[in-house]
Structure 1
């Protein structure tokens, strides 16, 4: 029979656990690695992992959250997606009911619909500390994301025009997320995270040309044209249309400004795109 003392010790041990949703994704994987390096108990949630977690299957959320103290929330495909507010409300209720004390939510910078989803999570998880990380485009989109194939082929097709974006390094985002999860920064805030400077896609192409040693050029596209590109890679039509429209909105100029969010949390400047590109090239990201 389990004694009260044994049960208390078990509960206390479980309370030091962090659930990382989308734990094999671009940011989730980095958060998992950092937490493990710190000696934390980590549950890496993914569709095929040891901790089953799928944003399209709510039945797995409660088992994944049970006994967890905190959670990193990275919603797929994007927090501005039509189904995100409903999912965040359900996830928030389950997290609060499971006794989770803190949530760190990955959100999009300058995305009004993402704010709707943020509010849905905040309201449903009343009493749970919610920290929101509103991020600009990741530099790693060019080395391990949707734009990787374009770099390899030498043509970046994207609906950005001449708009500049303050690309942020996903490693910086992960460092900020871990700081929030471990209590190194006050919980409950909203942090806007960008890189240190603005770059147009033409300038990004020049940076990648220099880093890879192969010519990369930017090819402007309309929203529908980019949706067609996504569909050619197997993205469902509805998701392709949503993503293309989202990118057009995000790159209309309203996000063309840097912030000091990374420095305020980490006490250092964010990593520059040039440093990212050199590091990615050295790691063989574009050696295919």
Structure 2
């Protein structure tokens, strides 16, 4: 029997955690899809998929490490078919803006559930603001120097809270299915400008240092980062961050009837919460 439970695949991640928290606060039963969940969910263990989908009405799908990874469209299609077979009524996929494999995954999702009675939605996001405070860039900011292979190309960074609000609206039927919601922040900033906003909010000096992509990849390799993760990072900085995503998109306003959160507001909130407190 299908209940009102919503499965959040990647429910411990930056957007999944926020989606799960919002659904729980609204009284919606949530199942966190992760390798430590119960029932557990593992992208690379298909035997875990059917138990995770059992009794689920809708699912929020985030793919690890990123839909830019080759082969992700086929895996997304396989997952979508498994969800449809389990009677899931609606799949909401988190996708990446300007990523060829991500857009192919969006099409694979829609094609896989066509004619099954399972609806789909896509939340296609720009780079997360929270990458500066909750991911691989946070340590550099805390130490006062952020080194990245990023030049002067601006990016309309989006707040993960806005992503979660749009996803929840789709999952709960507040906005109709069958749409791609392209979400960004209200303005595009270079990485140097974003770091300036962070420094202002944190009340201390933080410097941005651009470096060549190959030198950055070599440094990551020296830190022992796996080759597949290095390839993903170099793809995102070397290809996706080429100006294709400079334009601001109206997805947050169209879905929620309000403007997206500005980077300066995000920086003030993160700084007040101690995200960039310097190392002791």
- The answer to whether structure 1 residue 208 and structure 2 residue 198 are counterparts is yes
Structure 1 residue 209 displacement after superposition: 1.0
CA distance in structure 1 between the partners assigned to 2:179 and 2:120 by the alignment = 7
Instruction: Show structure 1 runs of 5+ residues with no match.
Output: 1-10
* Alignment partner of 1:153 out of 143, 166, 190: 143
Q: Secondary structure at the match of 1:69?
A: strand
Q: How does 1:274-285 map to 2 (within 5 A)?
A: 274-285=264-275
Count of aligned residue pairs for this structure pair: 276
Indicate the residue corresponding to 1:7 in structure 2: none
Indicate the residue corresponding to 2:107 in structure 1: 119
CA distance in structure 2 between the partners assigned to 1:20 and 1:70 by the alignment = 9
Indicate the residue corresponding to 2:9 in structure 1: 21
Structure 1 residue 221 displacement after superposition: 2.4
Q: Is contact 1:163–1:251 with CA below 8 Å preserved after alignment?
A: yes
CA distance in structure 2 between the partners assigned to 1:233 and 1:173 by the alignment = 31
Of 33-42 and 125-134, deviating more is 125-134
TM-score (norm 1): 0.92
CA distance in structure 2 between the partners assigned to 1:271 and 1:73 by the alignment = 23
- The answer to whether structure 1 residue 50 and structure 2 residue 38 are counterparts is yes
- The answer to whether structure 1 residue 88 and structure 2 residue 76 are counterparts is yes
Indicate the residue corresponding to 2:251 in structure 1: 261
Structure 1 residue 232 displacement after superposition: 4.6
Q: Is contact 1:71–1:104 with CA below 8 Å preserved after alignment?
A: yes
Structure-2 change in CA distance of 1:229 and 1:66 (3 Å): farther
Indicate the residue corresponding to 1:217 in structure 2: 207
What's the CA shift string for 1:58-117, capped at 9, x where partnerless? 221111011111000000111111131121021011001000110100000111221111
Structure 1 residue 234 displacement after superposition: 4.3
The two structures, once aligned, show a CA RMSD in angstroms of 1.4
* Alignment partner of 1:79 out of 37, 54, 67: 67
CA distance in structure 1 between the partners assigned to 2:180 and 2:101 by the alignment = 16
CA distance in structure 2 between the partners assigned to 1:178 and 1:242 by the alignment = 28
TM-score (norm 2): 0.94
Q: How does 1:122-141 map to 2 (within 5 A)?
A: 122-126=110-114, 127=116, 128-141=118-131
CA distance in structure 2 between the partners assigned to 1:15 and 1:232 by the alignment = 49
Structure 1 residue 243 displacement after superposition: 2.1
Q: Is contact 2:126–2:157 with CA below 8 Å preserved after alignment?
A: yes
Q: How does 1:6-17 map to 2 (within 5 A)?
A: 11=1, 14-17=2-5
CA distance in structure 2 between the partners assigned to 1:262 and 1:230 by the alignment = 34
Q: Is contact 1:227–1:237 with CA below 8 Å preserved after alignment?
A: no
CA distance in structure 1 between the partners assigned to 2:103 and 2:142 by the alignment = 35
Structure 1 residue 233 displacement after superposition: 4.8
Indicate the residue corresponding to 1:169 in structure 2: 159
Of 176-185 and 249-258, deviating more is 249-258
